[in-house]
């Protein structure tokens, strides 16, 4: 599904210096796999996701989806950002339908589909509310519905739970697993949480400090469906410990 080949990205800073965000990233992602990306702050995780989405262009290398080079945002890709970025003047239902309006893809059953998605994430009855009337977690659920409304094959998620409190974050992690189980898609999920990365993933991509490179790819061979009880599993603990070693080295504390 997704082929990332020798991808690098260099930004020009305000003082004119070149900042290498990513260097020589190569990665193959199969259909309907759940891939999480972790690494230290500033290692280029979000940059990698923006390159995969077509929001920015690489300095060198390429991202291809179904053998087509990604040069701009694709209609078969949904994106969820850290903040919900809902339209404050639109109802939750209209926010979810917004991508279809932009793509001129509204159909007779589009509103019914939006209501179905909102019901699936526990927002049935909130269709007529405005973003300011919902909690942060509820807004992020609506943002996920908006990313799913056009039934994309690929879902890119850039720390979507980073601004949520710990309990809501855990609830949302299980929610996205349930959605993925019911509607399989290829998911790239950026997170700072090692526990979250292992819980969700088929494979965890661990990145090095800037310039971001792939330090290691860890296969997570744990049974599904998963809950947080799986943290007690020996392989879960082994995977989490290996990720910590890769990110933090021999540091203590």
Q: How far is Cα 180 from Cα 34, in angstroms, rounded to an integer?
A: 8
Position 253 scores a pLDDT of: 40
The b-or-e profile of 170-184 (16+ CB within 10 A means b, else e) is bebbebbbebbeeee
CA distance 189 to 35: 6
Whole-angstrom distance, CA of residue 157 vs CA of residue 180: 13
- The residue with greater pLDDT, 1 or 241, is 241
Closest CA to 178 of 124, 230, 221, 225: 225
Nearest to 97 by CA among 132, 89, 105, 73: 105
* Dihedral sign (CA 196, 201, 204, 210): negative
Q: Up-side HSE of residue 45: CA atoms within 13 Å toward CB?
A: 28
Average pLDDT value over all residues in the chain? 93
Q: pLDDT band at 165, cuts 50/70/90?
A: confident
pTM for the whole thing? 0.91
pLDDT of residue 108: 86
pLDDT at position 25 is: 96
pLDDT at 52 over 70: yes
- What confidence score (pLDDT) does residue 196 get? 95
Residues with Cβ < 8 Å from 135, sequence gap 6 or more? 168
> What whole-number distance in Å separates Cα of residue 75 and Cα of residue 192?
27
Rg for the chain, CA atoms, rounded: 18
Residue 250: band (very low, low, confident or very high) from pLDDT cuts 50, 70, 90: low
Band of the pLDDT at 212, cuts 50, 70, 90? very high
Spatial CB neighbours of 101, under 8 Å, sequence gap ≥ 6 = none
Question: In the numeric block, which tokens belong to residue 163?
Answer: 């601004």
**pLDDT, tens digit, for every residue of 102-128?**
888 888 899 999 999 999 888 999 999
Q: Which stretches of the chain are assigned E, i.e. beta strand?
A: 2-12, 18-29, 34-38, 60-65, 68-69, 77-80, 154-158, 186-190, 203-207, 214-219
The three-state secondary structure class of 120 is helix
Q: How far apart are the first and last CA of the chain?
A: 40
What gap in Å lies between CA 72 and CA 8, rounded to an integer?
Answer: 17
């Amino acid at each position: 599904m997704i082929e990332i080949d020798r991808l690098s990205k260099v930004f020009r800073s305000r003082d004119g210096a070149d900042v290498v965000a990513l260097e020589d990233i190569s990665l193959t992602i199969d259909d309907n796999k759940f891939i999480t990306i972790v690494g230290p702050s500033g290692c280029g995780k979000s940059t990698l996701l923006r390159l995969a989405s077509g929001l920015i262009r690489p300095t060198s290398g390429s991202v291809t989806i179904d053998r087509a080079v990604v040069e701009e945002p694709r209609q078969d890709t949904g994106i969820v950002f850290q903040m919900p970025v809902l339209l404050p003047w639109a109802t939750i239902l209209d926010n979810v339908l917004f991508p279809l309006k932009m793509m001129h893809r509204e159909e007779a059953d589009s509103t019914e589909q939006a209501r179905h998605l909102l019901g699936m994430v526990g927002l049935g009855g909130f269709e007529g509310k405005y973003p300011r009337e919902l909690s942060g977690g509820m807004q992020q659920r609506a943002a996920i519905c908006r990313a799913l409304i056009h039934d994309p094959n690929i879902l890119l998620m850039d720390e979507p739970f980073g601004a949520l409190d710990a309990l809501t974050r855990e609830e949302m992690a299980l929610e996205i697993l349930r959605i993925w189980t019911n509607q399989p898609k290829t998911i790239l999920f950026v997170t700072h949480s090692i526990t979250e990365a292992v819980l969700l993933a088929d494979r965890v991509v661990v990145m090095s400090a800037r310039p971001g490179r792939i330090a290691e790819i860890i296969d997570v061979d744990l049974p599904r469906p998963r809950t947080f009880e799986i943290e007690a599993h020996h392989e879960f603990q082994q995977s989490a410990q290996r990720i910590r070693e890769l990110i933090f080295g021999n540091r203590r504390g």
